[in-house]
């Protein structure tokens, strides 16, 4: 219809230009479908009648072609009113599904790369080695980090610390021999020589105590490193199982947030409920390391408190007394820091479990779907379950 109106207006304009006939007469003739009358009316007033006949013939052919393309039913039938209320007319969507097969069958993208090695037995057996489970499941970067960190800790705990301890014991042994020597001199020497021998004895005794302090501090670090080594290895085992699970059974089904919060009251329970086994391993690693560090720091506080009481009886104004007081304060701060660290890890695990449960089906295409609209357009849908 729009094309016919445009051509009619064009013919009126052309006829008016080439003829003296009023444009209204030409328009009335076109509306009645009589193109010959237009030509006759224009030809009566124009000297160049051939031009007018050509224009009229061209317009008539164009109108005939347009009429052949259009169906009479489409011209006569009224247009259907657009569906203004899409939500009422659309089929209700199933939770977690869009109703469109092409969208509902899209794979869930995980940060765990797909692997063809899906044997749980071999994955868990290899996980007993540092980073072995990650190597088996083709996660070589994570496996390399675990192997490197565990290798450094194993070297420091079982080789370097042992070497340092042997050196301290060897050095302390020579000082202990000197203490025994001057003690015997104090007991068996004349009275006028006792003060000199006693001064020498106290000098070597302080060196023995200094070596003992270093030995206790190194033992404190060694125990803490051993706890962190065990925690990292536990994380590697849990992470291996998480990789296998995500590659075989990962779904976007919605998990209840309240249930996740209740499970989260148990350390790592919320992560296991959400099937985030790698995160559960991180929680256990952090809590185990924090608890071990609190214990070792508290042992050092007790050790230096005993040393402080002993030195206090001998000389409370000495430099040794001030140094021991500083060490007590230092290890108390360390202990309190690890306590707060453990509490924060526990609270984080609860919050993380709740958030992961809330967004458990966020990868579902329903949250970011583009659905057809019956009015001829499209409707963007985004939803979030609470």
Answer whether residue 295 shows pLDDT above 80.
yes
Q: What is the pLDDT of residues 114-151, one digit of tens each?
A: 677 778 899 999 999 999 999 998 888 889 999 999 99
In a domain, 281, yes or no: yes
Q: What is the pLDDT of residue 83?
A: 47
What percentage of the chain exceeds 70 in pLDDT?
62
Residues 130, 69 within the same domain: no
**pLDDT at site 356:** 84
Assess if residue 298 is contained within a domain.
Answer: yes
* Angle, CA 52 vertex, CA 28 and CA 2 arms, to 5°: 50
Confidence (pLDDT) at 38: 47
**Is 83 part of a structural domain of the chain?**
no
Whether the pLDDT of residue 323 is over 90: the answer is: no
Q: What is the CA radius of gyration of the chain?
A: 45
Residue 363 domain boundaries: 120-368
Reference 294, options 345, 235, 245, 246; nearest CA is 345
More confident residue, 91 or 218: 218
Domain shared by 202 and 65, yes or no? no
Pick the more confident residue, 305 or 66.
305
Q: Is residue 112 part of a domain?
A: no
Phi, psi for 28 (deg, rounded to 5): -65, -40
In a domain, 93, yes or no: no
- pLDDT tens sequence across 244-269: 888 877 666 777 888 888 999 999 99
pLDDT tens string 151-161: 999 999 999 98
More confident residue, 16 or 237: 237
Comparing 345 with 36, which gets the higher pLDDT?
A: 345
Q: Looking at residue 107, what is its pLDDT?
A: 55
What average pLDDT is seen over the chain? 75
Count of domains observed in the chain: 2
Q: Are residues 124 and 72 in the same domain?
A: no
Q: Compute the distance between CA of residue 109 and CA of residue 21 in angstroms, rounded to an integer.
A: 74
Residue 150 CA, chain-centre distance (Å), reads: 24
pLDDT of residue 167: 86
Q: What percent of the chain has pLDDT over 90?
A: 30
What is the mean pLDDT of the segment spanning 9-34? 51
* Averaged pLDDT for residues 267-282: 91
Long-range contacts of 343-350 (CB under 8 A, 24+ apart): 345/283, 345/286, 345/287, 345/290, 346/267, 346/287, 349/264, 349/267, 349/268, 349/270, 349/271, 349/279, 349/283, 350/261, 350/264, 350/265, 350/270
Which residue did the predictor score with more confidence, 246 or 65? 246
Please, which residues bridge with residue 372 across strands?
Answer: 378
Of 17, 52, 76, the last residue of a domain is: 76
Asked whether residue 359 is assigned to any structural domain, the reply reads: yes
Decide if 37 contacts 77 (C-beta within 8 A). no
- Does residue 262 share a domain with residue 144? yes
Same domain, 183 and 324: yes
Same domain, 320 and 229: yes
**The pLDDT of residue 335:** 94
Is the pTM higher than 0.85? The answer reads: no
Report how far residue 224's alpha carbon sits from residue 203's, in angstroms, rounded to the nearest whole number.
Answer: 32
- Greater model confidence, 328 or 84: 328
**Taking 80 as the threshold, does the pLDDT of residue 60 lie above it?**
no
Which range is least confidently modeled, 43-52, 104-113, 338-347?
43-52
Residue 89: per-residue pLDDT: 39
pLDDT score, position 267: 92
Q: Does some domain include residue 102?
A: no
pLDDT for 233 = 95
Q: What is the mean pLDDT of residues 195-218?
A: 83
Residues 198 and 281 in one domain: yes
Answer yes or no: do 198 and 329 share one domain. yes
Closest CA to 385 of 360, 352, 351: 360
Query: CA-to-CA distance for 238 and 62, rounded, in angstroms?
Result: 77
Tens digit of pLDDT for each residue in 216-249? 888 999 999 999 999 999 999 999 998 888 887 7
- Residue 258 located in a structural domain: yes
Q: Look at residue 74 in the predicted model and tell me its pLDDT.
A: 47
Same domain, 212 and 305: yes
Domain end marker among 50, 76, 102: 76
Residue 98 tokens, joined: 């869009």
Q: Other C-beta atoms within 10 Å of 155: how many?
A: 11
Among 20, 42, 76, which residue terminates a domain?
Answer: 76
Give the pLDDT score at 155: 94
Say if residue 65 is in the same domain as residue 208. no
Rounded to whole angstroms, the Cα distance separating 154 from 225 reads: 9
pLDDT score for 67:
60
Q: Give yes or no: residues 59 and 193 share one domain.
A: no
CA distance 149 to 229: 8
Domain co-membership, 62 together with 155: no
Cβ(280)–Cβ(272) under 8 Å?
A: yes
| Strand-pair partners of 379 | 371
């Amino acid at each position: 219809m729009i094309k016919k109106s445009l051509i009619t207006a064009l013919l009126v304009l052309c006829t008016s230009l080439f003829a003296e006939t009023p444009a209204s007469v030409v328009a009335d003739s076109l509306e009645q479908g009589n193109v010959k009358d237009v030509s006759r009316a224009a030809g009566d007033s124009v000297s160049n009648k051939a031009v007018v006949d050509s224009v009229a013939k061209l317009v008539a052919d164009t109108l005939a072609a347009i009429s052949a393309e259009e169906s009479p039913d489409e011209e006569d039938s009224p247009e259907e009113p657009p569906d203004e209320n899409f939500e009422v007319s659309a089929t209700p969507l199933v939770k977690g599904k869009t109703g469109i097969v092409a969208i509902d069958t899209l794979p869930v993208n995980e940060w765990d790369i797909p692997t063809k090695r899906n044997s749980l037995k071999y994955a868990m057996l290899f996980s007993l080695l540092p980073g072995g489970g990650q190597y088996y499941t083709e996660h070589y970067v994570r496996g390399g980090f675990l192997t490197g960190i565990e290798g450094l800790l194993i070297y420091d705990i079982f080789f370097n610390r042992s070497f340092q301890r042997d050196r301290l014991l060897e050095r302390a042994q020579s000082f202990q021999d000197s203490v025994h020597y001057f003690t015997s001199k104090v007991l068996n020497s004349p009275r006028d020589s006792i003060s000199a021998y006693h001064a020498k004895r106290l000098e070597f005794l302080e060196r023995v105590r200094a070596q003992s302090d270093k030995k206790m501090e190194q033992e404190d670090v060694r125990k803490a490193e051993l706890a962190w080594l065990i925690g990292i290895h536990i994380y590697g085992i849990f992470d291996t199982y998480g990789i296998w699970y995500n590659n075989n059974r990962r779904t976007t089904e919605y998990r209840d947030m309240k249930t996740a919060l209740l499970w989260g009251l148990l350390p790592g329970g919320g992560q296991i409920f959400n099937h985030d086994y790698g995160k559960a391993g991180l929680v256990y690693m952090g809590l185990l390391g924090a608890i071990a560090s609190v214990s070792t720091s508290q042992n050092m506080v007790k050790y230096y408190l005993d040393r402080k009481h002993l030195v206090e009886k001998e000389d409370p104004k000495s430099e040794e007394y001030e140094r021991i007081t500083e060490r007590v304060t230092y290890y108390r701060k360390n202990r309190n820091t690890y306590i707060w660290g453990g509490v924060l890890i526990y609270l984080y695990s609860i919050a993380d479990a709740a958030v992961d449960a809330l967004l458990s089906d966020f990868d579902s295409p329903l949250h970011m779907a583009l659905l057809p609209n019956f009015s001829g357009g499209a409707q963007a849908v985004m939803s979030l379950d609470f």
